[in-house]
Amino acid sequence: MGVYKRIPVLLATQPVYAGYVASDVIRRGVPADDVRVTPFGVRVMTDDLDRVSSCRLFDRIYFTIPIKRGERLTAENACDTIAGSMLKRILDSYLEGERPIPCRIRVELPVTGNNKAKDRLRDDITRLTGVFSEALLQVLPMDIVPQTADYECELYFPGRPDGSFGMYLWMAAMKDDRFSYRKKVASTSMSPVRAAVMMEMLHPYFIEDDNILDPFCGIGTLLIERLKKSGAGNAFGVDISAQLVSSARENSKGSGEHIHFIQRDFFDFTYDGIIDEIITELPDLYHRNEANKIDFFDSFLKKCMEITSTGAQFFVLTGDCDIFASRIKKFSSLKPAERISFGAKREVFIIRRV
């Protein structure tokens, strides 16, 4: 596929998910010695880009731009180091069409300290973005033009503790059809990558042929990814919004997964059989006070008890972790099995009904 028989790529993801991404890539046949977790994602050496890019758990795939052995890319030597790197050869091999190519320049630095430190960080990022943009214009004036919108590629410069930077290239032309079923979206819906990561975390607990329910299904992403990860019996998605349920049905059709979507308030949902698994992302309750949150969680858990029986499992993602944990304790037949960090102060609760 171009420059190298084996190429280094970065699968960008949040640090909390990196271990899952690495494990998934290894399961797909990449030797473990060629997979390494970094602060910016998972670095993979591969001669089969299609195999690596089929992983559903990363956000973006970047080409790692090699620089001369023994050199470090810094703001001070940006021109010389970029000129001596493999960037030009990789652009020529993978990007066709007219030049110069509109390119977004993205600099990332570690976030630490108080608000004043964060203000300085923003200023540093702005300054460094200008430094790297100017260096690229000097080194590759006919190939790249820095642009903040309608760009065809992105050069990503993540900062390291020693003051040096990595250099990675993302290209819009690289086809990504991992979630092509998702024709309909909503501002409140979970990203399909996050849904896939959540399923990877929970996969050891899944039981095939269980009847499953997402009581706040939205456009159906979580349920679709659940069925793609493991088989199930009947799958139900409930949402009070007619528009979201319509979108969920269309997405489900595109995915090839058979799911029953129902427009209804979850608290009015009934089912003649037994639900064995409840899997959901709870609604964002940031605008409610603590008493209202307690009320909601109690009602939710009570309803879950009504439609399940002994042996059922609940997989619940929420940002109100401490309050939710305290409400589980009010139900003697609910036993929390595990709490898994999901980033940004959110956790997935695994609860068993005994």
Instruction: Locate 11 and state its tokens.
Output: 């699968």
Nearest in space to 170 (alpha carbons), one of 231, 236, 102 = 102
Taking 60 as the threshold, does the pLDDT of residue 265 lie above it? yes
Handedness of CA 287, 293, 295, 297 (dihedral sign): positive
pLDDT band at 2, cuts 50/70/90? very low
CATH superfamily of domain region 192-353 = Vaccinia Virus protein VP39 (3.40.50.150)
Percent of the chain, pLDDT > 70?
A: 97
- Specify the domain boundaries for CATH 3.40.50.150 within the chain: 192-353
- Give pLDDT tens digits for 188-223: 889 999 999 999 999 999 999 999 999 999 999 999
CB atoms within 10 A of CB 83: 16
- Average pLDDT for residues 30-34, to the nearest whole number? 97
Give the pLDDT of residue 267.
97
- Give pLDDT tens digits for 77-130: 999 999 999 999 999 888 888 899 999 999 999 877 667 777 889 999 999 999
pLDDT band at 149, cuts 50/70/90? very high
Instruction: Locate 263 and state its tokens.
Output: 């427009």
In angstroms, what CA-CA distances link 332 with 137, 184, 336, 350, 353?
Answer: 66, 40, 11, 15, 9
Fold held by 7-171: VC0802-like (3.30.2130)
Indicate the pTM of the whole model.
Answer: 0.90
Give the pLDDT of residue 113.
66
